[in-house]
Amino acid sequence: MPKTPLPLLLRLNRCMKVFYCGSATIFDHSRSFFRALIPRTHHLSSSSQCNNNNNRLTFSANYANSFIFQDSTSHSISENEENRVTDSKDGVKQVENTTQLVSKQVLDSCSGRYIYVHDLPSRFNTDILKNCSSLIKWFDICKYTSNMGLGPRASDFHGIFQNNISWFETNQFLLEVIFHNRMNIYKCLTNNSSLASIIYVPFYAGLDIGRYLWGFNTSIRDSAPTELAKWVSEKPEWKSMGGRDHFFVAGRVTWDFRRQTDNDSDWGNKLMSLPESKNMTILIIESYSQAETNRDFAIPYPTYFHPSSDDEVFQWQNKLRKMKRQYLFSFAGAPRPNNEHSIRSQIINQCLDSGKKCKFLNCASGENKCDNPTYVIEIFQRSKFCLQPSGDSSTRQSTFDSILAGCIPVFFDSRSAYEQYTWHLPKNYSKYSVFIPEDEIKGGKVNIGETLSRISEEEVAEMREEIVKLIPRIIYANPMSRLETLEDAFDIAIEGVLDRVEKIRKEMEGGKSSEF
């Protein structure tokens, strides 16, 4: 019986596979087992070949070593599809072409999940960051663009975090940068667009319009969106589905992109009114109405916690389960005196009138502690309920800060969460939140403290446990690493886009209308 050749090593997704030339058998093994085999690959020739009937496998020994040593984070395998992993200058691993032919019998774990990323001209993304001081009129966000969009590391001067490694002063408007960097380590990237199920357009839509919202005419505000629409629609990838397999991220609320006229006095740009945008899927921190447009989908605001491992998430969850919460409810925010529809003043007054039952973190006076994750998370993790009234728009980053702290959110408008984050939050909203209609607050019909006090301790414990379980779904993991068993907000958003585009694809193949 002939000797079995030394196994050729190949990295497939998150498990290792061994190919034996005589049988093309596939075995799963742990990473540690294969790391132990690294020295045994040293005597291989520059390439090893084996033939089994009509199946051919060509593999480089050095390539095998590089996969093990570098622990590749991106992978795509198919006949005539070639990849290897290299370190880019910013330390994020990326996919490049090499020479690799793989048997059709190999099961591809990325089948139906490949993403092709458009290589946009830098003026649509990274160049925007170069003049970071002008991105938001009211303050300089340059420091928040550091650490791949996560911002500077948070100071834990009150000792409220389980470690200080994965907590950052993240700005809510940097989602596009965070998402782009997370995409760079997505496990199923491909350079072959014909293999892709969906196509990512890394346009920094929110950062672009943020520069021009105040004091600029419509032609300037519409310049980048119009140029982008022309650029992407002229690419060959656009033609197969008319852009219906394309998606991009917008890190501001939907109203910033929905100007209906060309009057300079009207707000925002017309990005979402462009014909090309109407064919794409849009991931945004606050959507218009998914039932009406069925193309912009709300995904969580970025929070302050960006873990590098599953264990960091588990440790934080366990800490929250043990926390003693001294406040019945709390509110972090500022009044909206110029908004006659706002109920914030009534909420603040009720909080102050409740004495020690409620903690108010004032975001309007003096030093704005609401921009400091230490103060926000400290108050929320000491509270049973966190009030989430609408502000300048229906949604708030604070909603996700409260979930992150294990604090049960109290909503006053269904558009603040229930009609928004349908991919990330449970449909049965009573499992994780309390709803008090804002009209009852305006009319003075409801005392918030009394309403929350009537909820039993058993119900509170059940709701809090549901909140703690939601944490992985509403955080964005550190772009320099990847969670092993948990799905974060990025993963869930990608699943949502994949599912949506697949349904559209089947409808188009069946001859049904694909108009949104």
> What confidence tens digit (pLDDT) does each residue in 275-325 have?
999 999 999 999 986 555 578 999 999 999 999 999 999 999 999 999 999
User: Average pLDDT, stretch 456-461?
Assistant: 98
**Least confident window among 104-113, 183-192, 270-279:** 104-113
pLDDT at 290: 53
User: Average pLDDT, stretch 238-246?
Assistant: 97
Distance of CA 70 to the CA centre of its chain: 25
List pLDDT tens digits, range 334-350: 888 777 778 999 999 99
How far apart CA 48 and CA 228 sit, in angstroms, is: 45
How far apart CA 477 and CA 485 sit, in angstroms, is: 12
Distance of CA 93 to the CA centre of its chain: 18
pLDDT at 338: 74
List pLDDT tens digits, range 250-278: 999 999 999 999 999 999 999 999 999 99
pLDDT at 320: 97
Is residue 105 scored above 90 in pLDDT? no
Percentage of the chain with pLDDT > 70? 77
**Least confident window among 123-132, 133-142, 198-207, 414-423:** 133-142
Predicted confidence band at 108 (pLDDT cuts at 50, 70, 90)? confident
Q: ∠ CA(312), CA(159), CA(410), 5° rounding?
A: 75
Predicted confidence band at 367 (pLDDT cuts at 50, 70, 90)? low
User: Average pLDDT, stretch 49-66?
Assistant: 34
Distance of CA 472 to the CA centre of its chain: 11
**Least confident window among 82-96, 315-329, 431-445:** 82-96
How far apart CA 141 and CA 36 sit, in angstroms, is: 46
Using alpha carbons, list the distances in angstroms from residue 171 to 176, 213, 304, 312: 11, 18, 8, 21
- Find the length of the chain: 516
Domains of the chain listed by start with CATH number: 8-110 (no CATH), 122-302+489-509 (no CATH), 310-474 (3.40.50)
**What does pTM read for this prediction?**
0.80
| CA pseudo-torsion sign 132, 136, 137, 140 | negative
How far apart CA 154 and CA 167 sit, in angstroms, is: 5
Is residue 138 scored above 90 in pLDDT? no
Percentage of the chain with pLDDT > 90? 67
pLDDT at 294: 74
pLDDT at 6: 36
pLDDT at 1: 46
Token pair recorded at residue 372: 């400091």
| CA pseudo-torsion sign 192, 193, 196, 199 | positive
pLDDT at 487: 97
Is residue 509 scored above 80 in pLDDT? yes
User: Average pLDDT, stretch 115-142?
Assistant: 93
Is residue 14 scored above 80 in pLDDT? no
pLDDT at 366: 62
How far apart CA 176 and CA 471 sit, in angstroms, is: 20
Is residue 365 scored above 60 in pLDDT? yes
List pLDDT tens digits, range 479-494: 999 899 999 999 999 9
Q: Collapsing DSSP states into helix, strand and coil, what is residue 356?
A: helix
Average pLDDT for the chain: 82
pLDDT at 50: 37
Predicted confidence band at 416 (pLDDT cuts at 50, 70, 90)? very high
Is residue 113 scored above 50 in pLDDT? yes
How far apart CA 349 and CA 352 sit, in angstroms, is: 5
pLDDT at 293: 55
Predicted confidence band at 513 (pLDDT cuts at 50, 70, 90)? low
Identify any residues that bridge with 10 across adjacent strands, giving them in sequence order.
17
pLDDT at 288: 83
User: Average pLDDT, stretch 456-466?
Assistant: 98
pLDDT at 349: 95
pLDDT at 207: 97
